[in-house]
Amino acid sequence: MLKIFPVLVIMVVGLVSAVWRGGAAIAEIFTTATLADFNSGAVSGKLDKAVFDAIPRSPRLDGLAAGLQYSLLHDAGLQVWAGCSEWLYSIEELRADRHDAENLRARARMFPLLVRALLEHNILLLVLPVPDKAEQVENQLCGANADRSRWRSQLWSDATASVERLEIDVKDKWPQPGYFRTDTHWNNQGAEFAAKAVARAIEARLGPGSDRVVLRTGPDRERLGDLARMAGLAEAPRGLAPALERELELKADVERSGSLLDEPSSPSVILAGSSFSLNSGFLDYLQVSLSREIGQLSQAGGGFAGALLELVQRRQAVLASTKAVIWEFPMRSLTAPLTADERAFLDQLPDSR
């Protein structure tokens, strides 16, 4: 009860403030309303709008409310699960929806066709499924488990068992924790581990690269995690929100092989992934490990196949000079609602309904 009291105080103060600020509008509603307005519910709707319009808008006040909710009730909102020791997780990884299996099986129908689209160009395809943070750092969930992540992995494995592909499994020997506490993405440690696993698989088939790649590091910097932002904690007082994390600043400088008079060639290795491929230095670690320049086509919010569909459907000219494609996608994206591009791709299949 004591934990709830400060939140109730804020709610009451906010309501009183809204009524005070919107008093004139509320009074006008009552003085002009007719009996028919009361009977139809029109008055109730107008009151709701008047109160909502009168609520003071303040990021700092919203941050204070979110911080109190998090620190006192251990509640991070509808999109984020608050685990132990300031660990935050995406609800996407934990919750179940009745369309999950349907969405995953739809993507399982896409999978062999996308694999074949690259193999037909004699391109080496490496599939990199990114495991859920909930599964890899399950010991900090506190009050929840990663059963949904394991269910998703097993269903995907069963649905695509007949598709031959070179898949990079980074779940085994994963460096703990490998993910940021307040972000959905892996940290520098996890990104480097995944990059080296991919690089070993490519080198085993294409041989070592010949570019000179130097990894330059800057000072580490504060990072406000995307999950903290989703929970409304970006503006919360620091004492009411998880501590900020640190991230190493990285940049890979690529010096291509050949003389200065040679025409620069397009990268022969393409990275077509999601925001995981855009974060934590994954691309930089990968280029250093491979001694190759890599073409970055990944998309923030690319989900399962956003970047790959862009490559095989609208960037086919790039495929002519490509030797290998790294297709990275988060496992949680397998059960997300289908995108417009994915639906359009499925509609072209012969057995589409």
Give domain status of residue 352, yes or no: no
**Block residue for tokens 């495991």:** 131
**Block residue for tokens 């040679």:** 262
Predicted confidence (pLDDT) at residue 104 exceeds the cutoff of 80? yes
Task: Mark whether 251 and 327 lie in a shared domain.
Answer: yes
Predicted confidence (pLDDT) at residue 270 exceeds the cutoff of 50? yes
Task: Mark whether 70 and 126 lie in a shared domain.
Answer: no
Task: Mark whether 306 and 323 lie in a shared domain.
Answer: yes
State how far the Cα of 277 lies from the Cα of 95, in Å rounded to an integer.
Answer: 25
Task: Mark whether 73 and 213 lie in a shared domain.
Answer: no
Task: Mark whether 69 and 116 lie in a shared domain.
Answer: no
Give domain status of residue 266, yes or no: yes
Predicted confidence (pLDDT) at residue 10 exceeds the cutoff of 60? no
pLDDT of residue 127: 98
Please state the pTM of the whole predicted model. 0.82
Task: Mark whether 34 and 16 lie in a shared domain.
Answer: yes
Give domain status of residue 232, yes or no: no
pLDDT of residue 26: 65
Residue at a domain's end among 33, 66, 89: 89
- Say how many domains are in the chain: 2
Stronger pLDDT, 4 or 201, i.e. the higher one: 201
Task: Mark whether 40 and 124 lie in a shared domain.
Answer: no
Give domain status of residue 234, yes or no: no
Task: Mark whether 83 and 101 lie in a shared domain.
Answer: no
* pLDDT tens track for 334-346: 999 999 999 999 9
Give domain status of residue 319, yes or no: yes
Residue 78 lies in domain? 4-89
Residue at a domain's end among 45, 66, 89: 89
How many whole angstroms from its chain centre is CA 345?
A: 22
